[in-house]
Amino acid sequence: MRPEASVMHLDLDAFFASVEQRDKPSLRGKPVVVGGVSGRGVVSTASYEARRYGVRSAMSTREARARCPHAAFLNPRFHAYRDTSLKVMEVLREVSPLVEPMSLDEAFVDLAPAALEAYDEPSVRAFAEQVRAEVSAVTGGLTASVGIGTSKFIAKVASDLDKPDGLVIVAAGAEQDLLRPMHVTVIPGVGPATAERLRRAGITTVADLESVTEDELVRLLGKAQGHGLYQLARAQDDRPVVPERETKSVSVEGTYDTDLTDRRLMEGLVSRQAVGVAERLRRSGLSGRTITLKVRLHDFTTLSRSTTLSAPTDAGPTIARLARGLLAELDLTGGVRLLGVGVSGLADWIQDDLFGEQPAGAEEEPLESLPDLPDVRTWLPGMDVEHTEHGRGWVWGAGRGIVTVRFETADSAPGPVRSLPADDAALSPWRPQ
């Protein structure tokens, strides 16, 4: 823990949904849900307008439609999110050379090497507001919630306190006063199962946790977790901000507020994570041979299963198929609190024809990578298109030989909606040059 508040956590608000609202004027201020749009799909991000109806990430699309039927349900456009994220990370690297991206929409920044004359609250606040303004400018108006504290843990807690578009600074010495009234789930690694175990021991707040000895926590939760919670309950976190290093593996994982028990839902989440891994591989010009599935059970037991291919791949359907196969081998009775998919054994080439054929059943999956393929003739809600007569727009929906398109862009007014034949030769997918 540092003597001054010099660690910043920046989190772009409802990132995927905010990018969609930015690029689709007719959706601004309206509920937007991004994720798999089929019945087996899973919500990736919901706009704040949709969250008012109880829609949240990792919820099945079916339930999200029941809660908010009037929302716009869109397939992800990873190229748009990636391009926006790159602009944000460039802003942060201009602030400090020590930037640790955690995902496309969040990063830690070490402000110690930054050009601050002082680390008093007014100076840090003015500096952070300038960063937020620059982020908004380069992203076309997206907002970010920022937390600043003496450690990564405190900065992350602070960034969650005033969402969206908030800025919270926790001064040195004020950490425990902030944490003590909070529920124990504010601490990383305390999910529903661990929280219930603590509740049975009479521990519900961080103040309760702070009053328990380390030996008691180790007996209750095991050595690693007990020791970790003992430290974090006292705001003790010395983890450095580590900038990107040479990539040895690429992975995507998620921890869920409620233990997952529906295997089909978990298959959908694993498929989505596989698509995200494939996107990151392609963005870095990499491919990999070893596909790994990580599962943390309700009792905090962590399982890992891997399979290795004869040649490297960066194909989302292939990674998804193998990851689902690994999932099928596991006993998930009691629930799952974390899922993750990773690829290692990285190379900078792929054997193009080895996985060229789409695996059987892949058409049933919410393959979000489809909008990124320039020759796609499958019209997915949300994807960018261009018409030789009507100009640029995006797919509202498709079916029975018809595709409905709203013709508008980020720089236009809300545009008209037109229904066209799905095989209209004048209509094609659009990607920025």
Output the CA angle 93-168-27, nearest 5 degrees: 75
C-beta neighbour count of 259 within 10 angstroms: 18
Q: For the purposes of burial, counting CB atoms within 10 Å of the CB of 351, is it exposed (0-12), middle (13-18) or buried (19 or more)?
A: middle
Long-range contacts of 51-54 (CB under 8 A, 24+ apart): 51/14
d(CA 219, CA 221): 6
d(CA 38, CA 404): 17
Here the tokens at position 94 are: 């201009």
d(CA 349, CA 286): 6
Give the three-state DSSP class for 256: strand
Q: What is the dihedral of CA 362, 363, 365, 368, to 10 degrees?
A: 100
At 34, which amino acid appears? V
Here the tokens at position 406 are: 């709203």
- Asked about 106 being catalytic, the answer comes back as yes
Q: Where are the beta strands (DSSP E) in 68-170?
A: 72-74, 99-103, 106-110, 144-149, 167-169
> What is the distance in angstroms between the CA of the first residue and the CA of the last residue of the chain?
45
Q: Which of 20, 49, 100, 106 is catalytic?
A: 106
d(CA 259, CA 156): 23
Which sequence positions are flagged as catalytic? 106
